[in-house]
Amino acid sequence: MKFNKILKLLATFIIFFNVFSLNAFSAEMRIGLVVKALGIGFFEAAADGANQAADEIGNIEVIYTGPATTTAEAQIEVINSLIAQKVDAIAISANDRDALVPITKKAMQRGITVISWDSGIAKEGRMMNLDPSNKSLIGSSNIKWAFNSMGGEGEFAILSATSQSTNQNAWIEEMKKEFSKSKYANMKWVDTVYGDDLFDKSYQEALGLFKKFPNLKAIIAPTTVGIAASAKAVEDKGLIGKVYVTGLGLPSEMKAFVKNGSVKQFGIWNPIDLGYSAIYLSYQIASKKFKGKTGECIPAGRMGKICVEDDNNAAMADPFIFDKSNIDKFSKIF
């Protein structure tokens, strides 16, 4: 009797385990979400959104991956490994617009759907690209936030991510266009430096700017890593009220700096929504419902339809501005 009971228990356990493991490991579609580097809060928020989309669609496994450093070489290794794992789709935020093209072409030749998001790959290396927002709007907004923060006059510098980064380079080009307007005649763009989306390097670059330009009034850092590092440098060097930091940041990482006055205003889009959209688009293309081509409007769950424009390029939403009035609310979300 006792032995029978044990057998029954064992059988129940085996059945339960099988069902459980089937559910957990039998995803119909596997999507590699490749980021510039691991350990960046912005990408971790995007991964949260990616998992939300996967849960909503069902039967999707998101493989969140990326290199330790923000280089194209390291990303090539990551993509090679995803090709070897025979994933269905790869959605990548690229460290280089051109250097990744041969490896992503190889992935596509093997039937893998490839899209870029956040930081794009050149057209021939992906099926579509999802920008977080309109490039020119992001660029002009950054200059406007600097104008507002520094009272429209004085010296400012850019502290960017890597010198090869597709997204930051495109935004800097747009900043140049905006800055050529007469409204900014009393502002002087003195330098552009690169912190490689590494906190320590960005911090050192900010210190370098303070030394080289004793009259510096603002740093524009269009990177979540660079803006937090610059604001910390301003705080540590006792420069609050003298140097203002602005750019693109995560409210959760910038709250303390808005409160202490090293940052007056900054902006960003919702990174959770961006990761969510990247998975939806990958799924729609990998399941052959869409191609990611100009003219298509692709349903993306709670984000509605995302419409593909020129060069198979789409933009998600307008950037949102944060300051003392709303930082508490948003710092709880991302």
Q: Which is nearer to ligand RAM, 197 or 273 (CB)?
A: 197
Residues 281-310 contacting ligand RAM, CB under 6 A: none
Q: Which range touches ligand RAM (CB under 6 A), out of 25-33, 107-115, 217-225, 251-259?
A: 217-225
Residue 202 near ligand RAM by CB under 6 A: no
Q: How far is CA 268 from CA 121, 151, 249, 317, in A?
A: 21, 21, 6, 10
**Per-residue burial over 305-334, b = 16 or more CB atoms within 10 Å of its CB, e = otherwise:** ebebeeebbbbbeebeebeeeebeebbeeb
Residue 133 near ligand RAM by CB under 6 A: no
For ligand RAM, the binding residue among 104, 140, 142, 223 (CB under 6 A) is 223
Q: Which range touches ligand RAM (CB under 6 A), out of 4-12, 109-117, 218-226, 325-333?
A: 218-226
Residue 316 near ligand RAM by CB under 6 A: no
Residues 26-45 contacting ligand RAM, CB under 6 A: 36, 40, 42
What is the nearest approach in angstroms of ligand RAM to the Cβ of residue 9? 50
Site string for ligand RAM, 144-183 (x = CB under 6 A): -----------------x-----x----------------
Residue 201 near ligand RAM by CB under 6 A: no
Residue 198 near ligand RAM by CB under 6 A: no
Q: How far is CA 176 from CA 132, 142, 158, 194, 273, in A?
A: 20, 11, 11, 17, 28
Q: Which range touches ligand RAM (CB under 6 A), out of 60-68, 220-228, 285-293, 310-318?
A: 220-228
Yes or no: say if 218 and 190 are a contact pair by the CB < 8 Å rule: no
Residue 312 near ligand RAM by CB under 6 A: no
Q: Residues near 17 by Cβ (< 8 Å), separated by ≥ 6?
A: none
Q: Residues near 318 by Cβ (< 8 Å), separated by ≥ 6?
A: 133, 134, 137, 269
295 Ramachandran zone, left/alpha/beta (phi>0; psi -120 to 50): left
Residue 230 near ligand RAM by CB under 6 A: no
Q: How far is CA 30 from CA 87, 224, 235, in A?
A: 5, 28, 44
Residues in contact with ligand RAM, counted by CB under 6 A, come to a total of 13
| Ranges assigned E (strand) in the chain | 29-34, 60-65, 89-92, 113-117, 128-131, 154-160, 187-194, 216-221, 244-247, 266-268, 297-299, 305-307, 313-315, 320-322
For ligand RAM, the binding residue among 96, 197, 205, 273 (CB under 6 A) is 197
Q: Which range touches ligand RAM (CB under 6 A), out of 73-81, 120-128, 219-227, 305-313?
A: 219-227
Residue 253 near ligand RAM by CB under 6 A: no
Strand partners, 131: 315
CA–CA dist 96, 112 (Å, integer): 20
Residue 334 near ligand RAM by CB under 6 A: no
Residues that bind ligand RAM (CB under 6 A): 36, 40, 42, 93, 118-119, 161, 167, 197, 223-225, 248
